[in-house]
Chain A
Amino acid sequence: MQKKDIGLAVLIIVVGIIVYMRNPLFLSPINLGNTANLIGLFGLFAIGQGFVIMTGGIDLSVGSVIALLGVLFVDMVGKFGVPWPLAVALMIVLGVAIGLAHGVLITRFKLQPFVVTLCGLLIYRGIARGYTAESTAGFPFGSNYPQLEWLTIGRSFGVPHSFVAMLIVAAIMWVVLHHTVFGRHLCAVGKNEEAARFSGINTRFVTIAAYVICAVLASIAAIYFAMFTKSVQPSSHGNFYELYAIAAAVLGGCSLRGGEGSVIGIVLGAVLLQELQNLVNLLGIPSSLNFAVMGAVILLGVLADQQFAAYRNRKNTERALGLLQKS
């Protein structure tokens, strides 16, 4: 664990203790289970966003991807009777295709990630709304899919499977980021693309791969969200979710300038965001203030982090100078 991760974990625990003291329901099994479910759902695609941010890019299309693929998945399984494993596979293929499209536009055509994925945000949302003609996509009454439901919204020992899925993805991505050659190259490309290229790294491949990872995780999250909400309202489903993902990644120590980040940090970022949502509910703060609370806490968190870093640097310099003077 990096220093930043520990700081974030401490913040989560401190906020938790405060909320618990104001409202003991915070630690009730039901509340913990529900919050864990939401952490799982949001954590899944926040990890993907983190990878893109580490390349120095950004993916604004995540929320729209979740809406479009959610609509398609529900329709395929509910309306057209496609077997769910096939539908899941198709969603992942679509995710790969979307990620490839973003990556190629950014690396080959040298478009800015912000622009490419902003257009993605508009296009996918538009297609979702056009395809459904603004009507809500839902499963037919009385239908059920026991295995799919067990995998997505089921629970074992009270732990929601969405949370378990997120932990599995996080573990895999942790190995990928911190212990594979690809992970090394991702950090190198994010920080100094030219240096990476001079070192013989295929920088285009690395960048495209990051967008594919992001879109695939978004497509998996789309299935989990669709199963969780059971119906998908194409104009509102997944709205602003890309911003939750960016917030989680930034809270988790990913630098928007690229090259820095940790998977544990992103997961903790997602935990903190959901904890704040929960705080708003449990402390009786009007839920309309939801975004305001979240924004204020993120701002304070980032500000505090920067101040601490500056303080640490000063201390280190002073110590080094002290040593020099002694010698």
Chain B
Amino acid sequence: MNVLELKNISKSYGAIQALRDVSLAIEPGEVVGLMGDNGAGKSTLVKVIAGNFAPSSGDIFISDQRTVFHKPLDAQKAGVEVVYQDLAICNNMTAASNVFLGREPTRKIGPIKIVDYAFMRKRSAELFARLKSETRPRDLVHRMSGGQRQAVAIARTLLSDAKIVLMDEPTAAISVRQVAEVLNLIRQLSDHGIAVVLISHRMPDVFEVAHKVVVLRRGELVADKKASDSSPEEITGLITGAIETA
């Protein structure tokens, strides 16, 4: 079974063809490194998968079912979660509040519904434990390290029972030690059967966690191969066009 399958996805903006006949299958728990130079179509592909916009042609299958996303919420409901590059978290709130942002649990006291802080803290502590992260639910996010902030953003995706998590440059702006932390988080997701699409420019990070590497060049898929069968040199060649396809 494939958790996500793309068949002949094309996307054009007017005369510009951003994606051309991209086909790709991802299994549960698989970590896919999505690579490509700037403008190769990585973000477009991610936005198509996340439901930000519809492909011009081609089909998307989630768990082998053909699916059409009209808006990001549709994709979210189908189990596709996105961790944005700037993480989309609120610095002024606690880790627990951020995990539950937009999905706050409530309990009723008489006629009024109040936010169930105790449940939020308990549940997010469980999620952080599952991610083997030392993030504490009560801590304010603005006091956290980049790695812990990633943990918060990733815990959000666990909350909704995601099948596939798209991560846009999660290791771009953080320290070396925190990169290791984030890569561990990705492995945790994978161990829980969640597929991860890792968009990154950083070759070593991709080769450390990815099972499979996919390369886009000028809107076309030029490689889709096991990380163990490839090498950073080959991928660099594919990205730049020194090697045609693999």
Contacts and interface: CB of A to CB of B under 8 A. Distances in A.
Interface of A: 175, 179-181, 183-185, 187-188, 190-192, 194-196, 198-201, 259-260
Contacts of A198: 82, 84, 88
Interface stretch (B6-14, B106-114, B171-179, B187-195): B106-114
B102 interface: yes
A179 B107 CA distance: 10
A196 B102 contact: yes
B102 A192 contact: no
Given A195-B101, A200-B102, A201-B102, A188 B115 contact: no
Contacts of B86: 194
9 contacts: A175-B114, A180-B106, A180-B114, A181-B115, A187-B93, A194-B86, A195-B87, A198-B84, A259-B92
A175 B88 contact: no
Given A175-B112, A184-B97, A184-B115, A191 B73 contact: no
B88 A187 contact: no
B51 to A, nearest CB: 12
Contacts of B112: 175, 180
**Helix, strand, loop or mixed for chain A's interface?**
helix
A180 B113 CA distance: 7
Given A196-B102, A201-B101, A180 B92 contact: no
Given A180-B113, A200-B73, A191 B90 contact: yes
B93 to A, nearest CB: 6
Nearest to A189: B90
A256 to B, nearest CB: 13
Contact of A192 (B73, B89, B103, B114): B89
B104 interface: yes
Contacts of A175: 112, 114
Given A194-B88, A196-B90, A259-B90, 7 more contacts: A179-B114, A184-B101, A188-B90, A188-B101, A192-B90, A192-B91, A200-B73
B84 A184 contact: no
Interface residues of B, number: 23
A199 B104 CA distance: 11
Contact of B101 (A183, A190, A196, A259): A196
A199 B76 CA distance: 10
A191 B93 contact: yes
A205 B103 CA distance: 16
A134 to B, nearest CB: 46
Contact of A181 (B87, B88, B89, B104): B104
A199 B92 CA distance: 15
B93 A188 contact: yes
Contacts of A191: 90-93
A3 B101 CA distance: 24
A244 to B, nearest CB: 25
Contact of B88 (A183, A190, A199): A199
A95 B14 CA distance: 47
A188 B93 CA distance: 8
A198 B104 CA distance: 15
A181 B116 CA distance: 9
A179 B90 CA distance: 18
B84 to A, nearest CB: 6
Contacts of B101: 184, 188, 195-196, 199, 201
